[in-house]
């Protein structure tokens, strides 16, 4: 089971806020720690994946739950 260091709820926010908030949240955790991001923006599914590819952070999982889209990101 992965341990989540920090949780970020971006539900209700639209592009580009989920990405900007994710960036800020990642700045506050240590390398190797995991950030959980929840979003209601369908565009964030591809955008978060693209953000991770470009910034070198690892997208551990991307799921759609009742609460919204849930992403687990391991900080590089």
Partner 1 sequence: MATTAENTTQNAQLDTWLEQRLDELLPKKMAEIETSKTPSMSIIATKGSLDWAYPPFILASTAAALGWDVDMFFTFYGLLLLKKDINAEVSPLGNPAMPMKMPFGPKWFQDVDWPMPNLLMAGVPGFEKVATGLMKKTFKNKGVATIEELRGLCLEADVNMIACQMTVDVFGFDNSEFIPEVSDFVGATSFLPVARKSDVCLFI
- Whether residue 72 contacts residue 2, with contact meaning beta carbons closer than 8 Å, is answered with yes
Catalytic residue among 15, 20, 28, 76: 15
Tokens of 28: 């506050």
Shortest distance in whole angstroms from residue 18 CB to partner 1? 9
Q: What are the φ/ψ torsions at residue 69 (nearest 5 degrees)?
A: -90, 130
Residues in contact with partner 1 by CB under 8 A are: 12-17, 19-20, 22-24, 40-41, 51, 54-55
Shortest reach from residue 13's CB to partner 1, in Å:
4
Matching residue, tokens 């720690």 = 33
| Helix 17-27 vs helix 44-55: crossing angle, to nearest 10 | 40
Closest CB to partner 1 among residues 2, 11:
11
Active site residue 15: yes
Q: Supply the residues annotated as catalytic.
A: 15
């Amino acid at each position: 089971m992965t341990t989540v260091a920090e949780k970020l709820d971006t539900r209700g926010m639209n592009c580009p806020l989920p990405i900007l908030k994710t960036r800020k949240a990642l700045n506050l955790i240590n390398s190797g720690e995991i950030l959980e991001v929840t979003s209601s923006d369908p565009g964030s599914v591809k955008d978060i994946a693209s953000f991770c590819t470009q910034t070198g952070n690892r997208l551990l999982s991307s799921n759609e739950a009742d609460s919204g889209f849930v992403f687990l990101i391991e900080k590089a």
